[in-house]
Structure 1
Amino acid sequence: MREREKRQRYVLEASGVGVRFGGIHALQGVDLAVRPGEVCGLIGPNGAGKTTLFDVLSGIRRPDEGGVLLDGADVTRRSPVWRARHGMRRTFQRQQLFGQLTVADNLVVAQEWRGGGGGFAADLVAAPTRRTYERMRRERSRAVLRECGLDALAGEYAGALPVGQARMVELARAVADPPRVLLLDEPASGMTAEERGQLAAVVRHLADEEGCAVLLVEHNVAFVMELCARVVVLDLGRVLAHGTAAEVRADPKVRDAYLGTAAP
């Protein structure tokens, strides 16, 4: 019972995850857990294994060792689609927008569920008519665009947007159907300071007001330290350190491996 109660405190867990590419260990014995309503940062030098870990968590890659739990259930062998239907969303380092669709239509497409999970997806599937279904999707899209500061861009083609705005559209699309777990892979890349502030505000709202668990990979260490309540550091495929932002920033091992002597 205690073990079950402990697991229920976390919405997402990686336990002893290992991944090999031939003779190279990309990940070795990685443990990580994120609670509902928490923003957790994942940092480390290039090649540390951050994106590989995201691939394992989101179901794109199966680990060679260890497993993944979602809401306490083992989902190690579940597909990315199954995980998405049960509340997991992810963005990527390389932009994955539908460039020939408008910003608004990118969000509408993200709600095109068939036999989806719970929450808003279930409400959509239960819509009595196609017209009601379409109206619900459009209304939800407009609300998310307002929350993300993108309502003025609703009619613009996504492929014509500058990088920072396109990143915000990716975030908006990821939360068009409210997630339980959100994996953000370098979301602030290419953003201006103002755009990063908007990104941080949206992420905080998701965690604080909607109880979403957010795991954030980002090379802008100052941004991570300001936004995240807890930080995990990967180096050479292993967890080098974890703790609060202040604890990680002061850790000599982290300074030597990643932050340098003049930590932010």
Structure 2
Amino acid sequence: MSSTPALSVPSGPSAPPAPPALQATNIGVRFGGIQALDDVSLTLRPGEICGLIGPNGAGKTTLFDVLSGIRRPDEGRVHLDGTDVTRRSPVWRARHGVRRTFQRQQLFGQLTVADNLVVAQEWRGGGGGLAADLLASPTRRTYERDRRARAATVLRACGLDDLGGTYAGALPVGRARMVELARAVADPPRVLLLDEPASGMTADERRHLSSVIRRLSEEEGCAVLLVEHNVAFVMELAARVVVLDLGHVLAEGTPAEVHFDRRVRDAYLGTTAD
């Protein structure tokens, strides 16, 4: 008995691909007569971890400043979820899901670790600008309770739940770096810009940092752009790596492709790299 062939059902129109979480196109930045960035383009997809490496002075921090809104580019555009945000402020971008850490620690040293995370969520409760008689209202107390609950959840996820009551200024460098990451994700991010987050960390702390970043990308769909001078850390963690040199994109590809690119070896990794 011959089998009846399966019917072919025409499929409907496929859904358009989701826009990049963050996209920079043809970015140019000048400082007087110095071209800090020249025609730099970069795309971050939701859930992607992308490494950004290059020698000192390559333009990595300047690009972070452009992406986070601290600096407006002289040329080019920045899009967040398909919306042009080139002229939007850092505060606007932060409230729409762009978070950033800095090379130099930016914790509130005289606040506890938990309070650092609560402050990062303050805008959600309208803490600034509320009338004085509203500050003690049930609504305000609900916001406070919710923020503290979120802070406790994030600290636990980052392995910092034993430090909630510790003053941030008393922390060793590695732990303080981890608190900076926790504060950056206290309010769930869409895009996370990490500027040398592993600086000053021990090998065990770097492994823990790596696991937290992976979880953010895989489970929460966060797009991560990672600047780090520890190239091995970047190559192990990132799915894609962009190399900047003298304000230009020198190379882009998988960690293996970038690692064996002769131009990258000559400019940054060294010609003796394995």
Same fold (TM over 0.5): yes
Pairs within 5 Å for 1:26-105? 26-105=36-115
**Counterparts of 2:122 and 2:205, CA distance in 1:** 28
Q: Tell me the alpha carbon deviations over residues 139-191 of structure 1, each in whole angstroms, 9 at most, x when there is no partner.
A: 11011001111111111100111110000000000000000000000000000
1:257 aligns with 2:267: yes
Q: CA deviation at 1:130?
A: 1.8
**Counterparts of 1:175 and 1:185, CA distance in 2:** 14
**Counterparts of 2:35 and 2:48, CA distance in 1:** 29
SS in 2 for 1:20: strand
Aligned to 2:228: 218
Q: Is the 8 A contact 2:110 2:167 kept in 1?
A: yes
2:142 to 118, 124, 132: 132
Q: Is the 8 A contact 2:125 2:144 kept in 1?
A: no
1:233 aligns with 2:243: yes
Aligned to 1:206: 216
Aligned to 2:165: 155
Q: Tell me the alpha carbon deviations over residues 178-211 of structure 1, each in whole angstroms, 9 at most, x when there is no partner.
A: 0000000000000001110111011000000000
**Counterparts of 2:19 and 2:46, CA distance in 1:** 8
Letter in 2 for 1:148: C
Aligned to 1:184: 194
**Counterparts of 2:225 and 2:260, CA distance in 1:** 21
Q: Is the 8 A contact 2:108 2:169 kept in 1?
A: yes
Q: CA deviation at 1:134?
A: 1.1
The change in CA–CA distance for 1:232 and 1:200 in structure 2 (over 3 A counts) is same
SS in 2 for 1:57: helix
**Counterparts of 1:114 and 1:188, CA distance in 2:** 29
1:22 aligns with 2:45: no
**Counterparts of 1:133 and 1:56, CA distance in 2:** 32
2:207 to 191, 197, 209: 197
Q: CA deviation at 1:92?
A: 0.3
Aligned to 1:120: none
**Counterparts of 1:51 and 1:44, CA distance in 2:** 11
TM-score normalized by structure 2? 0.89
Q: CA deviation at 1:81?
A: 0.3
Letter in 1 for 2:242: V
Aligned to 2:152: 142
SS in 2 for 1:95: coil
Q: Is the 8 A contact 2:50 2:226 kept in 1?
A: yes
Identity among equivalent positions (%) equals 79
**Counterparts of 2:251 and 2:206, CA distance in 1:** 26
**Counterparts of 1:245 and 1:128, CA distance in 2:** 52
Q: Tell me the alpha carbon deviations over residues 51-105 of structure 1, each in whole angstroms, 9 at most, x when there is no partner.
A: 0000000000000000100001110000000001110000000100000000000
Q: Tell me the alpha carbon deviations over residues 216-244 of structure 1, each in whole angstroms, 9 at most, x when there is no partner.
A: 00000000000000000000000000000
Count, aligned residues = 250
Q: Is the 8 A contact 2:241 2:258 kept in 1?
A: yes
TM-score normalized by structure 1? 0.92
Q: CA deviation at 1:115?
A: 7.7
SS in 2 for 1:77: coil
Structure with the greater alpha carbon radius of gyration: 2
**Counterparts of 2:194 and 2:138, CA distance in 1:** 34
